[in-house]
Amino acid sequence: MPVVVVESPAKAKTIEKYLGGDYRVLASFGHVRDLPPKDGSVDPNDDFAMKWEVAADSRKHLKAIKDALKDDQTLILATDPDREGEAISWHLLEALSPALKKGAAVNRVTFNAITKTAVTEAMANPRQIDQPLVDAYLARRALDYLVGFNLSPVLWRKLPGAKSAGRVQSVCLRLIVDREMEIEAFKAREYWSVHARLATPGGAEYDATLVSLAGAKLDRFDLPTAEKAAMAVSAVASRDLRVTSVGAKPATRNPWPPFMTSTLQQEASRKLGMGAKACMSAAQRLYEAGLITYMRTDGIDMAPEAVHAARDAIRAKFGDKYVPSSPRMYKNKAKNAQEAHECIRPTDMMLSPDRLKVTADDQRKLYDLIWKRTIASQMEAARMERTTVEIASPDAQVGLRATGQVILFDGFLRVYDQGRDDDDGEDSARLPAIQQGEAAKLVGKAFEAEFAKAREKDDPVPAAPAGQRAAPGLLLNDTAAVAARQHFTQPPPRYTEATLVKRMEELGIGRPSTYASIVTTIQDREYVRKDKNRLIPEDKGRLVTIFLTKYFPRYVSYDFTADLENELDEISAGDLVWREVLGRFWKDFSKALEGTSELRITEVLDAIDDALAPHLYPPRADGGDPRVCPVCGAGRLNLKTARSGGAFIGCSNYPECRYTRPISAPDGEEAVGDRILGEDNGDPISLKTGRFGPYVQRGEATEENPKPPRASLPKGWNPATLDLDRAVQLLSLPRPVGHHPEDGELIEAGIGRFGPYVKHGSKYANLPDVEEVFTIGMNRAVEVLAAKQTRGRAAAAAPLRELGDHPSGGAIQVMNGRYGPYVKWEKVNATLPRDVTPEDLTVEQALELITAKAGKSPARKTASKTAGKTAGKTAGKTATKKATAKKPAAAKPAAKKTGAAKAASSKA
């Protein structure tokens, strides 16, 4: 029967269900070949010849396919419908060529969804491998190899601790580093806004904001200080107010288009907290199960039959009024849209999330998101009314505005509303019925609750004039009817995975199949860390970015990277020759590499230090030299690298002066370096900074005492505020708590490698807080130790049955285990057969099971030890003798391994 090859077993299972027994469906388990991770795999001097190697794990999969082809020489390659899928098919054909006889039929089929209709139609319309798509893959793979395997060694030699560079990953890292430096250079600007709580003649309340003062329109920064805000509060509070106009405007909101890869990752991050990698993994499983269309796509258009199915589903579930008069059509706005794929949508529009038979929580949630977005994209627009109320004083010196909106028809919002990133949103407050010309009365005590909450803050309190009250960030008139709120402009937000993918898409960097791997790679290499879903560059990530920007500016340029992606797209369209693109790239890139060959590490650090100078050494408030060491006053501050790959600012007078500070937070950082904290029992107690951070020391190192007592500062302790008492406490650890009431053995409290602890003999128990080390008493220590012992040693499970003693000694028991009942004797556990119940098991049957289990040749080292002990104990028994008497065959010498190591993952 014809052999169909796909990437994964899950996809194979689904397709086999649709094709029936007329085809044999096998999985390649992804790529079967890759470039060996060594020099020479791509040879620019031989027209970019590429040496491919079959991965060790792939050999068995290829063998299975070759064996199947012996019976039928019809090969159907049904990998994914994109550039990467085309490449997998090409690799399969190249690797299987020796097994294919002359005249063998080889066809390529693709389908955007794994449904019976799509698969059947694809099988009826086979084609040949699309060579331009393969060429685009070859160009990308060669580019990534040439950049990664030529640029990374430069980093290793010139920048200690750097791990690697990649054609797209380094540009993505630059985005994050540039944003962080924007944030650190940002200077907040203060401004105030004034608000009033008003009431209609009927008593209905609403809020309004001051928009004009002294007859002039207020801009954002027209109230820059508390003093000016206080004057505005007085102006509003001292005047009668009246409604001058009420305007209501109809508005509509249209639905968002269905998902493509980038928007799916963004929404999954916002609404489900999924990272890009987790999102694509869940989507892959939904696709392979035939529940959604292909999930790596730049397209937002939907097949006509899917549009009609969505409209039918809307009509059936929500009624005719939610179905627009004509289908909605969407046009892709993304740069460099790859192959023309459909959007990501359910394959069956009538399969609502509540009817989905999927147990995995991440898949259910993601399907719910995809279904709602798809259905909403074909629904009627939401209709609303936006109301604007203008209020003014009779002398026109004060003007306020109240806004609100009312949804008249929810339309698509009944199903789906898109999330937002770093967006204040729009004013959707409901307003009461307000008439033009009516009085607007100030409502007393309106802001009392807000005032009480503000007073709990420790921030500075502005001065309040007569007739007003002040709290941190807030001013009120005495009746609390008018409030002024303090604001500060905010720096641009750090990227989340969602906003980073969105920005890459806007710049034309990366493609749907690479977004997740790029974002994951820069985190795996510890260039970036994720904190509360925000991406923050590590010091080594900053250094790599500055190095590449300084010495390889073109290759971390956003425009250059996007243009190169454009050329790859032109190759896939057959408009460019891939080797010519590589030739132009390599000509310039190799020259840039040669330009760094003579660089010394000190030169690189000096260049990076100069490039980062405005960021690392901001002007001092006193006008002094920002590079002068704040501890010794004589040394100069400069950039240094640690063996770990991190970087810091240190004094040039090291080791005499050990002042250091991190490169990522120079502003407001207090000087931290060697200093004497005081004396204790005649010994100087000093604070020092070492390779592993700050520590305290008693006395000084001498020939007689080369290692005086030291103690590292616990996490969370600020070296700048450390005093003598705390240092002495730290040096006195471990601290004796007392003798245990049961055995009289000493209990101690201390700080170890894994944090604070109490110790009783050889038993340790962690403490939740460092401070408890200095205060813990006997009762608490005994309680913590007892709790640890209870947690660490689970109560032994009671046996289901006791069968008596084994002939060699020791009880035979029937136990209930995780995988069902089993017989237990000494270290031997033998699972009961399915047809034997614990109640019916006899002693003879139990002995047979134990003997069989003990006599098996174990595969693992631990099992081997168990079997050896068992054999020794039962040496006198006939059954055991039979099991152990047969000598194992002499071990054959291990076969020499062939082939190179598994190829490294391609660099993004």
At 143-158, the pLDDT tens digits run 999 998 898 888 888 8
Helices (H) and strands (E) in the chain, counts: 24, 35
Tell me the per-residue pLDDT of 582-601, one tens digit each, with 9 for 90 and over: 999 999 999 999 888 888 88
Average per-residue pLDDT for the chain: 85
Task: Give the span between the Cα atoms of 505 and 497, in whole angstroms.
Answer: 12
Distances (CA, A) of 56 to 9, 33, 63, 228, 367: 18, 9, 12, 74, 35
The type of residue at 41 is S
Q: What is the pLDDT of residue 108?
A: 96
Nearest to 812 by CA among 874, 858, 760, 902: 874
Tell me the per-residue pLDDT of 380-389, one tens digit each, with 9 for 90 and over: 999 999 999 9
Split at pLDDT 50, 70, 90, the class of 424 is: very low
Nearest to 251 by CA among 436, 385, 358: 385
The answer to whether the beta carbons of residues 220 and 412 sit under 8 Å apart is no
In percent, the amount of the chain with pLDDT more than 90 equals: 49
Q: Which two tokens stand for residue 784?
A: 């913590």
Task: Give the span between the Cα atoms of 567 and 575, in whole angstroms.
Answer: 9
> Is 294 considered catalytic here?
yes
Q: How far is CA 559 from the centre of its chain?
A: 26
The answer to whether the beta carbons of residues 649 and 663 sit under 8 Å apart is yes
- Using the predicted structure, report yes or no on whether residue 878 has a pLDDT greater than 60: no
- Using the predicted structure, report yes or no on whether residue 426 has a pLDDT greater than 60: no
Tell me the per-residue pLDDT of 678-729, one tens digit each, with 9 for 90 and over: 888 888 888 876 666 788 889 877 778 888 899 988 887 877 778 888 899 9
- Using the predicted structure, report yes or no on whether residue 409 has a pLDDT greater than 70: yes
Q: What is the pLDDT of residue 889?
A: 43
Q: What is the pLDDT of residue 897?
A: 39
Split at pLDDT 50, 70, 90, the class of 224 is: very high
Q: Which two tokens stand for residue 417?
A: 């509303």
Nearest to 669 by CA among 724, 631, 614: 631
- Using the predicted structure, report yes or no on whether residue 309 has a pLDDT greater than 90: yes
Task: Give the span between the Cα atoms of 360 and 306, in whole angstroms.
Answer: 26
Q: What is the pLDDT of residue 906?
A: 39
Nearest to 286 by CA among 114, 67, 35, 401: 114
Q: Structure pTM?
A: 0.71
Task: Give the span between the Cα atoms of 756 and 779, in whole angstroms.
Answer: 17
Task: Give the span between the Cα atoms of 437 and 539, in whole angstroms.
Answer: 62
Tell me the per-residue pLDDT of 340-372, one tens digit each, with 9 for 90 and over: 578 999 999 999 999 998 889 999 999 999 999
Which residue of the set 206, 294, 555, 659 is catalytic? 294
The answer to whether the beta carbons of residues 556 and 174 sit under 8 Å apart is yes
The tally of CA atoms less than 13 A away on the side-chain side of residue 872 is 8
Q: Mind giving me the DSSP string for 657-678? A: ---EEETT--TTPPP-S-EEEE
Q: How many CB atoms lie within 10 A of CB 29?
A: 17
Residue 356 backbone dihedrals phi, psi, to 5 degrees: -75, 130
